[in-house]
Structure formats: structure tokens, C-alpha cells
Amino acid sequence: MTRLAGKVALVTGAGSGLGRAVAVRFAAEGAKVVVTDVDETRGAKVAREIGGNAAFIRVDHTSTEQDDRAVAFAVEKFGGLDIVHNNAGGPFTGPFEDVDDATLERVLRVNLFGVMQMTRAALPHLRASAQRNPAGAALLFTSSLQGLKAKPNFSLYTVAKHGIVGLVRSLALELAPQNIRVNALCPTVVATPMLEAFLPGMAGDHDEAMKRFRATIPLARMPEPEDVAAAALFLVSDEARMITGVALPVDGGQMAM
């Protein structure tokens, strides 16, 4: 499988969950992959599992300096940058009135500001790639179904994920003349380690919350990380060369209800 042969991809938050699945899938399709994560142990492990076509660099995406360093690392290691998947993020649940300033800043920095910083750092290199490839370069963001709708007790997370969808639509128009495509994945709750952090906001005990949640999915099953990775692969591949500005639900039909 070589849908990404000859391409260099940077995947943030790739030490576990969705990011890990995406990095593994991109590499399996021929890409050289830079794995980033704030957790050095997990991120380095993913790069080792992938093998010689992957490299790891520890990055805290709330730091502009570290985002710049990650992009420079990718270019130096593999000779360029064709794909960036801004996947890193963190959960938030709880009543809005309980949010203090420290929580407000932390959630928005991890889920929105860091995403914009990494995008800004990567753009010169994506522009250079787009000039070489008729199908262009690709920017992909992990938003959420909460970037398209809302529910109680997810206020800051919803604000950040709506912000990503707005950024995607704006950048898609801004960067289209430069042959850079910009899209977002909007998955529902996925079976990843982050799932446990969302359960308190879903009310009830674990089993009850999961039963109620599954009942809201028309396909009657939760997506796995690999389901989201398959959608990511398509959106960054040359097959999607006419797709930009899309916020794609990966939700088993929830948005249709």
C-alpha cells in the first residue's frame, strides 16, 4: 500500500489513541512519519513500532518554540513536509461556572492555541511541498463532533473544537490559491484512553453512560481509532485533491439524527 509514498507527515499527539492509529496508518501507506507527543515514553514507543520510516520528537504544543523545533526536525530528518495532522488535544468536562482562569487557559492552549502555533510553523514547508506536487499539500485537524454540535458540561472543549472548524474553513479559502488543502475530522467519542476523561460529563456510572451513548449511534457501535485513521488517510491522500474546507463527521450517523 503506497497511497502516501514519498510523502513526509507530522502527526501531533501520536503517542496513543487516534494519533497513534493515524501515524501507523500513514507509515503503512508509505509515508515517513514524525511522531510528536508530550509523553516521551509513549511517543518514542510508537516511533519504534513503526520502524525506520518514523522518528519521534517530544513536543509540548502550548510552546511556540517547541512547535517550531518539531517542524525543523521533520524537515531536517526527512527532507521536507507534505502533511501535518494537528491531532494533539485534551479533554474537559464540568459545569462552566466552575471554570477558573487556569483551567480556561490550559484547555484553550492545548486544544486551540497550540494547534494554530503548529500550523503557523508548518505553512512555509507545506507551501514548498504544494509547489512540487500537483495534488498539493495537506493540513488536517482533529476537531470533534463537539465542533459541530454541543452538549451540556463540555463548554470549553466545545468552544475549542468549534474554533478548529472555523479555522479550517477560513484557512481552506486562504490557502487554496497556494494548493494547500485544509480539512478536519469530527469524530464522536472513540474507544481510546481519553474516553475515561469524558465519562464524568456524560453522567451516571461507567456502564450506564456507555449504554446510553451507544444508543445514540445509528450504527450501534463506537468507532475505533482505526476508523478515524482511515478517514484521515483519505483526506490527506492525493485522491482527495478536490476536497478542502470539510469538517467530516466520523460518528456512525449521529449528525444525521
> What residues are annotated to the active site?
157
3-state SS track over the chain: CCCCCCCEEEECCCCCHHHHHHHHHHHHCCCEEEEEECCHHHHHHHHHHHCCCEEEEECCCCCHHHHHHHHHHHHHHHCCCCEEEECCCCCCCCCHHHCCHHHHHHHHHHHHHHHHHHHHHHHHHHHHHHHHCCCCEEEEEECCHHHCCCCCCCHHHHHHHHHHHHHHHHHHHHHHHHCEEEEEEEECCCCCCCHHHHHHHHCCCHHHHHHHHHCCCCCCCCCCHHHHHHHHHHHHCHHHCCCCCCEEEECCCHHHC
> Which residue is listed with cell 479533554?
91
